[in-house]
């Protein structure tokens, strides 16, 4: 069970929370479905991927890995590296507001970049367990629905449409811009850009392998310096004082 129902924690509130994300997720699902069927998979692989894997970037990547008959061990390592960022999401995701073992299990399974972006932009006091679960259900429906429609369309279209794989990059760019506008936190994207440039210069073919750890280290250093500047208090405590 989740938190007791409130007037603003049902599907209507979650729909308002996720509508903008849905405009990105559904077309992205379309792109995934198109790419999947035009790569030789049957249309029904789209909902299967989206239910068993349910990780947008990994689903796109899995198409190429499976077509290349990648060994299981390499698939496991790739999955761990691509989705390791979810460990950091879990540190601040309000899972404690979700009640019940089944509800918590689904909340952990359905924690995606988009869900984290939506919940992180909200006042924690506004988020109930019911509202969080509805946000996750709607985000998954946007993605699965788009994937199925795209797969059916892709199966009916002759030839291959170029450029559909760029949809994932476009969505992350939009989410990043929206997060910057919400938080007004300029140093974080600047640090991310610097780390990306360093990774591109050091290892051009594996830029993310250098950029992501560098960004994590930079954020930790930034946090420690900010905490020290506030006299040993956490940023939230210092701000309150």
The pLDDT tens digits of the residues spanning 108-126 come to 888 888 888 888 777 777 7
Say if residues 34 and 164 touch (Cβ distance below 8 Å). yes
pLDDT band at residue 53, thresholds of 50, 70 and 90?
confident
The rounded distance, in Å, linking the Cα atoms of 147 and 31 is: 7
Q: Span 155-182, mean pLDDT?
A: 69
Q: Which two tokens stand for residue 123?
A: 């006042």
Dihedral over alpha carbons 129, 132, 138, 140 (to 10 degrees): -100
Q: Span 55-63, mean pLDDT?
A: 79
The rounded distance, in Å, linking the Cα atoms of 160 and 38 is: 6
pLDDT at 34 over 70: yes
Threshold 0.85, pTM exceeds: no
């Amino acid at each position: 069970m989740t938190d007791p129902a409130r007037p603003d924690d049902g599907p209507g509130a979650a729909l308002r929370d996720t509508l903008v994300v849905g405009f990105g997720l559904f077309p992205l699902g379309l792109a995934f479905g198109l790419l999947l069927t035009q790569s030789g998979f049957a249309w029904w692989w789209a909902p299967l991927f989206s239910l068993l894997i349910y990780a947008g970037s990994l689903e796109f990547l899995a198409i190429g890995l499976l077509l290349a008959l990648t060994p299981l061990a390499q698939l496991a390592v790739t999955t761990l590296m691509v989705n390791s960022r979810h460990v950091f999401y879990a540190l601040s995701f309000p899972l404690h507001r979700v009640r019940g073992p089944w509800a918590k299990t689904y909340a952990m399974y359905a924690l995606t970049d988009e869900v984290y972006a939506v919940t992180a932009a909200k006042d924690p006091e506004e988020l109930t367990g019911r509202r969080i679960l509805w946000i996750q259900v709607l985000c998954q429906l946007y993605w699965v629905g788009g994937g199925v429609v795209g797969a059916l369309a892709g199966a009916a279209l002759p030839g291959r449409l170029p450029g559909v794989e760029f949809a994932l990059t476009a969505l992350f760019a939009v989410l990043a811009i929206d997060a910057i506008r919400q938080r007004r936190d300029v140093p974080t994207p600047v640090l991310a850009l610097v780390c990306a440039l360093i990774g591109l210069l050091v290892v051009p073919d594996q830029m993310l392998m250098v950029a992501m750890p560098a960004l994590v280290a930079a954020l930790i250093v930034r946090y420690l310096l900010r905490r020290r500047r506030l006299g040993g208090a956490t940023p939230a405590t210092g701000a309150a004082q």
